[in-house]
Copies of this chain bind each other. A is one copy, B any other.
Amino acid sequence: MVYQVGVVGAAGYAGAELVRLLIAHPDFELKVITSNADAGVALADVYPSFSGVSDLVFTGHDDPALASLDAVFLAVPHTAALAQAPALLDAGVAVFDLSADFRLADPDVYERWYATPHTAPQLLATRAFGLPELFGEDLTRAAENRAAGAPVLVACAGCYPTATSLAAAPALHMGLVAERGPVVVDAISGVTGAGKGANARTHFCHAAESVEAYNVCRHRHTPEIEQILGLADRVVFTPHLAPLRRGLLSTVTLPLKEEVVGALSAEDLVARYREFYRDRPFVRVLDAGRQPETASVVGSNACQLGLAVDGRAGVIVATGAIDNLCKGAAGQAVQCANIVFGLDERCGLPLMACPV
């Protein structure tokens, strides 16, 4: 059976990546792509890589055809998903939201960090969190709801939270991490993470040959990481911009419990992480001593993890590499949709990056 789907906000980077994946997906048929700015324009005129491959044309976000689809992916800025999701859910459409609007369980936290009211808090209790490797039960429940005709809203995890949480969660889950003290997350993103908007920061001549930190101590992914990992007020998250297009590396330094220091080798840790991620096709834990390169995952839905233990300072350093647009956005949303629609979670998703 083929399900009919649409992408709202398909002219942005995450949206265009969704289009790439959905066009090639064997079980989803992409019927509608919307963009208010590019309504009426052919997809291939905005993204020439689709030339000769797809004749889709953008419609506006208010395209009534959306309401008759099986699923809609919302690749819009925050608040726009709040505006659009309720009606789609009422129409029986499964909604996979890539924005931040439904990620934070507590609407007060949302309002504090995003400085805007949460207009649909009633949806938070039942939304599924879209990070399959760590919140698989949410998605199983969503699949059951869909089968039962109940509404399905999946709040897909953000790019930084995905890489960070996949790197940190097993250590926390195993009880290796000290119960107080900062957990330092320094992450590096490619420029697609800054979005398609042309501005001084995304200008080639600013971004090339330079690195910088940004939104230090105030990036909105901080509370999302803390919520996923259960680390209230402990995460120091510093994102950096580097001159690459796609790719995201998160370096997480976790303080060990005193009794663990000295007793844990990197090899042990690798073995435990591999056990934790057994049967998760997109997560690969590298051998001790090896570190992931973002280029090894770009274009794919894979996440590669590197692990090291510093017995001197008493910490784990865990690194996670993903493609911010794929596993950090569009790919993860499709992975969630696969699960919700009862398909193999790998369905239609690239397993590997180009070798070079």
Contacts and interface: CB of A to CB of B under 8 A. Distances in A.
Interface of A: 13, 16-17, 19-20, 47-53, 181-182, 184, 186, 188, 190-192, 196, 198-200, 202-214, 216-217, 233-236, 238, 240, 242-247, 249, 251, 253, 255, 281, 284, 286, 290-300, 302, 304, 306, 308-310, 312-315, 317, 319, 321, 325, 351-356
How many copies altogether? Answer: 4
19 contacts: A49-B353, A51-B304, A52-B284, A188-B211, A191-B204, A198-B198, A202-B205, A204-B204, A204-B243, A209-B247, A210-B244, A210-B295, A211-B247, A212-B294, A213-B319, A236-B253, A236-B315, A238-B317, A240-B251
A281 to B, nearest CB: 8
Contacts of A317: 213, 216-217, 236, 238
Contacts of A205: 13, 191-192, 196, 202, 245, 356
B181 A181 contact: yes
Contacts of A245: 204-205, 208-209, 356
A298 B245 CA distance: 14
Identify which of A209, A214, A291, A294 gathers the most chain B CB atoms within 10 Å of its CB. A209
Contact of A243 (B51, B208, B217, B291): B208
B210 A255 contact: no
Nearest to A300: B49
Nearest to A182: B313
Contacts of A244: 208-211, 242-243
Contacts of A356: 13, 16-17, 47, 192, 196, 205-206, 245-246, 325
A20 B294 CA distance: 18
Contacts of A200: 198
Contact of A203 (B203, B236, B319): B203
B49 A308 contact: no
| Top 7 A-B pairs, shortest CB-CB distance | A210-B295, A186-B186, A47-B355, A16-B355, A49-B353, A198-B198, A204-B207
A287 to B, nearest CB: 9
B184 A253 contact: yes
B20 A293 contact: no
Contacts of A191: 204-205, 208
Given A216-B306, A249-B240, A49 B210 contact: no
